[in-house]
Amino acid sequence: MDKGFWGKIKKPIFVLAPMANVTDEAFRRLFAKYGKPDVMWTEFVSVEGLLSVGREKLLPDLWKSRKEKPVVAQIFGGKPEQFEIVARQLAQMGFDGIDINMGCPDRGIEKSGGGAAMMKNPKLAQEVVLATRRGAGDVPVSVKTRLGYSKNEMTEWVKYLLEVEPAVITMHLRTRKEMSLVPARWDQMSKLVELVAREIPKVGERPLLLGNGDISSMEEARERVKETGADGVMIGRGAFGNPFFFNEKKKMEDLSIKKRLAVMMEHAKLFEKLFKDIKNFDVMKKHFKAYVNGFDGAKELRIKLMEAENAKEAGERVRNFLN
């Protein structure tokens, strides 16, 4: 199995998670500028949607620039034949990798057989990986998943995945039932590393193993790698509102409030420039909540920013606050 770009990355590997309505091109460009992770992911996109009349509406979720490379496109769905066609398209679009979402607990996504529902149908999950690999050609295919559906079934579930040789398995260290309501179970990451070491002689080449869940700093990420033997860590919510997260020389919290708010406004303006008339400006408001934190007057400013309908109005509120 050719791991593509994954085979060339120095370990430990630190990557930015795919998050719906978060990891769009504007968000990723800020990270590329202020503290680039080893790999970035797109938001997840429906394979069925990409093959439907609604395709044009979904394509902005797959926009990317050279500055963000390597970028992995994440897709979900329930029909292997759709994955094969879409994987071919994504390879032609120049993505460095293709990731299959087998962990999202959204009921709508599960209805289509995708996301976390894949764990209940491991044979279908295998067909999906193989179909995606056929379509992807030389582009490496990875899987992001969870410990199990309603209980921890990691051992049985991962054995199915290993048989179809994904280049990477990213394990969100909770079950689907647990959502994000309990602490991530990092003890399971060590067990995953051991399990894969045992099983690999039987099935083929070892995938890279990334752990995911509850990482709030790069120090913590490095600690988790050391403790568990994982190849790396995927960071999601911990990097929210902090494009300096992966920058180990300069930290967001060391910046002045004025500079932090300037970075936030840079994000808002870029979002508006890229997605004007395509995405609602309200998407930025979850980012405002994350940026505006931990300083005097933050709560009042957040309330005012929630009323802003565009970047200009947000900028005026920030200027008034600073004055």
User: What positions carry a catalytic annotation?
Assistant: 104
DSSP secondary structure string, 185-233? -THHHHHHHHHHHHHHHHHSSPPEEEEES---SHHHHHHHHHHH--SEE
- The whole-angstrom separation of Cα 302 and Cα 232 is 34
Cα separations (Å) of 156 from 120, 171, 248, 299? 11, 14, 38, 47
Cα separations (Å) of 64 from 90, 102, 119, 125, 321? 12, 23, 30, 28, 33
- The whole-angstrom separation of Cα 189 and Cα 175 is 13
- The whole-angstrom separation of Cα 158 and Cα 146 is 10
- The whole-angstrom separation of Cα 217 and Cα 251 is 10
Both tokens of 150, joined, read 């309603």
Torsion of CA 95, 49, 108, 99, to 10 degrees: -10
Specify burial of residue 120 (Cβ count, 10 A radius: 0-12, 13-18, 19+).
Answer: middle
**What are the beta bridge partners of residue 160?**
none
Cis peptide before 70 (omega within 30 of 0): yes
The one-letter code for the residue type at 301 is: L
